[in-house]
A and B are shown apart, each in its own frame.
Chain A
Amino acid sequence: MPKDSGIGASPKRREDVRFLTGRGQYTDDININGQLYVHFLRSDMAHATINGIDTSEAEGMPGVVRVFTGADFEGVGSIPCGWQVTDRHGEPMQEPAHPVLAQGKVRHVGDPIAAVVAETYAQARDAAEALVPDLEELPAVIDMKDAVKDGTTKVHDDLTSNLCYDWGFVEENRDAVAKAMDEAAHVTTLELVNNRLVANPMEPRVAVGDYNPGTDDHTLYTTSQNPHVIRLLMGAFVLGIPEHKLRVVAPDVGGGFGTKIFHYAEEAFVTFAAKQIGRPVKWTASRSEAFMSDAHGRDHVTKIELALDAENNFTAIRTETYANMGAYLSTFAPSVPTWLHGTLMAGNYKTPLIYVNVKAVFTNTVPVDAYRGAGRPEATFQLERVIDKAARELGVDPLALRRQNFITEFPYATPVAVEYDTGDYEATLSKLEEIADISGFEARRRESEAKGKWRGLGMNCYIEACGIAPSALVGQLGARAGLYESATVRVNATGGLSVMTGSHSHGQGHETSFAQVVADMIGIDDGMVEIVHGDTSKVPMGMGTYGSRSLAVGGSAIVRATEKIIAKAKKIAAHLMEASEGDIELKDGQFTVAGTDKSVAWGDVTLAAYVPHNYPLEEIEPGLEETAFYDPANFTYPSGAYACEVEVDPETGHVTIERFAAADDFGNVVNPMIVEGQVHGGLAQGIGQALLENCSYDEDGQLISASYMDYAMPRADDVPMFDVDHSCQTPCTHNPLGVKGCGEAGAIGSPPAVVNAVIDALQSGGKNVMHIDMPLSPNRVWAAMQGA
């Protein structure tokens, strides 16, 4: 019988009660007495010199309190970047300034030029229309390869070029990889695009700044995945506010997908303006603003080469990638195409030599940063597409080619600097063959053919490095932050617990699953545990949620803090029962003395901690509250195998996904229902990238896909019922829960399965198409069919 509480059970998500009944408290629900509203005038040009801004008419308009321009932010810090990449010559990346409001130049459509603060939002918008910026348009830098040619217009005049960095990994392997390519029996080459995406969380970004002149306290309410990171970056680097005078609250947040990790100019603006004006200032992004100011994702152009020997063993991989940084460096942008991407190029395979070259480029586009998967989907897509192409060129079964090259012994040190602790790739692939009913595919293909449709089957494996991250390691790699996590477990006198976690939940269900962990350890009901997150005044300094880290790192911190609680509670229980501490056992919320019938309940012990009338005060302090900081020893390495079946309409090129199966190894699973939901969401986003989504700029840098009329999000009828399985479990060897993380897997593993399936369908229809760049819109598929 399935468990109904604790680890391994699937209780319904407690937070959904408020989300589904309209009782959530999102940032836009926060309204402070006397608050003003800001509207940003954003550049409608991609690249222009600001000769001046006439604010006089706007300042006289009804309700306008103040108009800010870049000049008001002279002396204020630059929006900082949290990761410094060192290039292949040992030089630091080029790092441009990023002012809160544009100074001197605008560098992308959406770059904020001025801000109008008014009594109402409508008044602020109206007045912004009366602002007259004198912009002198400059040539826009859009294409990445053009951007790094000599003599190209520079996005940042004070940098030497538009090249942020030219990264080589592992640089020492460069020559050996070249030699292996020369000596290979076969080399498969593939050029591909990882299309630019917009994260599109359901809730747009919102920020409310508040300032108390009586205490000099600043408060920022914001839609963030990591309020402490915002407090540190904004307080220390932009506005110069010490952390004890700055509180950052990220209440209910309606989805992040990475794009709410980063510190944004609007957050600094409302915090700054609230103090300048002496009244709270609120900003709520419109969907249009979200498209042109939320950090975008992906946008890599890659050439990958896979070398094989005469027995089809992989001997080397070489890639050259152009990665778009956009106009400024967003918080973690430099890490995405490098350490979150190059380190994954081994995939599930024992390729002995790998060389990854990444050229990160500034362009006149919205900054690009982490988006669900962040670097790992890009790596997986390249690798799993080139393997499929190699199998086709060599005339071998694509799964057999993968199996032959699987890593089978763990721990396994890859040639790209990471060590996989555990995994079983054959197990997930075999499970996939079972749940996807691969043996029934040919019959289904004939059924499709009978309907006049071409059916294709695409499969791939994936591995990801998540549970981000060991601080000492990422520090060597250029991270300017530690990536541990924090937890405080506060036991109340009557036995209930408040658990303060540095992780942040913006849809992941932490309030449910984290409570399951703590309740399971003590043996009490889940309902006795409350999870508190998202407020720097309540939670110890933590690093937030991204990189599938919350359970693996944040959950581990909670385990460590709870272990301390239990250790202390055992001391109290030993005193109460006049027994030796070493004989105390805790089970089902009861402390017992081993080998006797003596027991005290959890609640007796917690009460004694706060009413210490009969208490070992000479040995331990009263109270029952413990804090732990957990820094992981390694990344975690979830892996799996995915299968997609598509039908292609030979007349129109329209692709429908008929079946999709995912067999994942997430290690131990705390709440299978939540895990399944995470996989579903990730698959939908991966399918969105593969078939639908594309963020487009025209040659002048105009963003031409900035609404849902032109940016195609996946809808319910674009995805099939998913067959997902996570019964293959090789527990993580280095965290106390044995968990690996599941938030990004679906988005990482699914795009190559979809594309492999479409190529297979076209091949079955007699079209010798080897690759189509995502998204596989009917137009692109049809055009590829015509050329083949």
Chain B
Amino acid sequence: MKMTDSQTIDAPPDRVWAALLDPETLKACVPGCQEMSGSPEDGFEAVVVQKVGPVKATFKGGVTLEDMVEPASLTISGEGKGGAAGFAKGGADVRLEPADGGTELHYDVEAKVGGKLAQLGSRIIDGFAKKMADQFFTNFKEAVEGPKTAANEAVPEAEDAEGETDSEKKGWLGRLVKS
């Protein structure tokens, strides 16, 4: 599936750029991300737990960054293997444009799934991928701008779907999912 969208972030492009390359920020923003390590030069290794329709899986995979033009554009591509669940792969062309003191972040995303994910989830995969991208960029915007509500606000437990073990982050993502 393919989609194109944009997000206005209340921070200058160089700050947005730095956040995009920061594994800790990415870990916090990729929905269901359990682990994220590596560097922009060597690529990142990630572990993501997600549920697509009836299929829940732990995806282990790598993310590489290419065509980096600081602080204006880059291409992110990644592939995750989910064992019996199959695999997911995709990429995003990201462009950062200054806008009213902030940044307009444009993204063109392409995502593909294979194996059981495709067999069981094909009807819902487009919606799922869009939801994942929306969540990521919403999280990312929030992470760069800083939280607008109290960080320790009590929130309900996240759905099982997110598969989080860290209860603090679980609440944070859970709130996003429900918003």
Contact = CB atoms under 8 A, between A and B. Distances in A.
Given A125-B84, A128-B84, A700-B112, A288 B118 contact: no
Interface in B75-94: 83-84, 86-87
Nearest to B112: A700
A705 interface: yes
A350 to B, nearest CB: 47
B120 A109 contact: no
Contacts of A291: 119
A44 B118 CA distance: 9
Contacts of A44: 86-87, 114-116
Contact of B120 (A45, A698, A707): A707
B122 interface: yes
A129 B122 contact: no
Interface in B115-158: 115-116, 118-120, 122-123
A704 B119 contact: yes
A125 B122 CA distance: 23
A129 B83 contact: yes
B82 to A, nearest CB: 9
B113 interface: yes
Contacts of B83: 129
Interface string A253-295: 0000000000000000000000000000000000010011000
A689 to B, nearest CB: 20
A108 to B, nearest CB: 12
Contacts, number: 51
A478 to B, nearest CB: 35
Contacts of A170: none
Contact of A704 (B84, B87, B122): B122
Contacts of A621: none
Interface of A is mostly: loop
Contacts of B123: 709-710
Contacts of A706: 118-120
Interface in A686-740: 696, 698, 700, 702-707, 709-710
Contact of B119 (A45, A292, A700): A292
A705 B112 contact: no
Contacts of A128: 84
Contacts of A700: 112, 114
A684 to B, nearest CB: 24
Contacts of B86: 44
B122 A109 contact: no
B118 A704 contact: yes
A292 B113 CA distance: 16
Nearest to A125: B84
A541 B115 CA distance: 40
Contact of A705 (B87, B115, B116, B122): B122
Given A703-B119, A705-B122, A706-B119, A109 B84 contact: no
Given A109-B115, A710-B122, 19 more contacts: A44-B86, A44-B116, A109-B118, A109-B119, A125-B84, A128-B84, A288-B116, A288-B119, A288-B120, A291-B119, A292-B119, A696-B122, A698-B122, A702-B112, A704-B118, A705-B119, A705-B122, A707-B120, A709-B53
23 contacts: A45-B87, A109-B114, A109-B119, A128-B84, A288-B116, A291-B119, A698-B122, A700-B112, A700-B114, A702-B114, A702-B115, A702-B118, A702-B122, A704-B118, A704-B119, A705-B119, A705-B122, A706-B120, A707-B119, A709-B120, A709-B123, A710-B120, A710-B123
